[in-house]
Amino acid sequence: MTTIRFFAAARAAVGVDSLSTTAGTIDEAVREVAAVDPERWAALQERCSYLVDGVTTRDRGTSLAGVEVVDVMPPFAGG
């Protein structure tokens, strides 16, 4: 079981801080999310980075086998 944690705009679009999944890849995990704002969530998925047990990836085909935590990190504005 993998915990998916959402931050900033991703959390707002999804409507929860985290969820658990048995999905096989990041792509499968994000596709199964029942977001409160589905259009915003769909647009964000393409722009997010993912921290897989602390290692950054943008490859949504990344396997979740043995992974404990995936952090969904949307693009941040600031400076």
Q: State the average pLDDT for the chain.
A: 92
41: pLDDT strictly greater than 60: yes
CB contact at 8 A, 13 and 41: yes
74: pLDDT strictly greater than 80: yes
For the beta sheet containing 69-73, the strands, ordered from the edge strand earlier in sequence to the opposite edge, are 18-21, 2-6, 69-73, 49-52, 55-57
Spatial distance between the Cα atoms of 70 and 54, rounded to a whole number of angstroms = 8
Mean pLDDT, residues 44-66 taken together: 93
Model pLDDT, residue 77 = 56
Spatial distance between the Cα atoms of 38 and 77, rounded to a whole number of angstroms = 22
Residue 75 confidence class, pLDDT cut points 50, 70, 90: confident
DSSP string, 2-38: EEEEE-HHHHHHH-SSEEEE--SBHHHHHHT---SSH
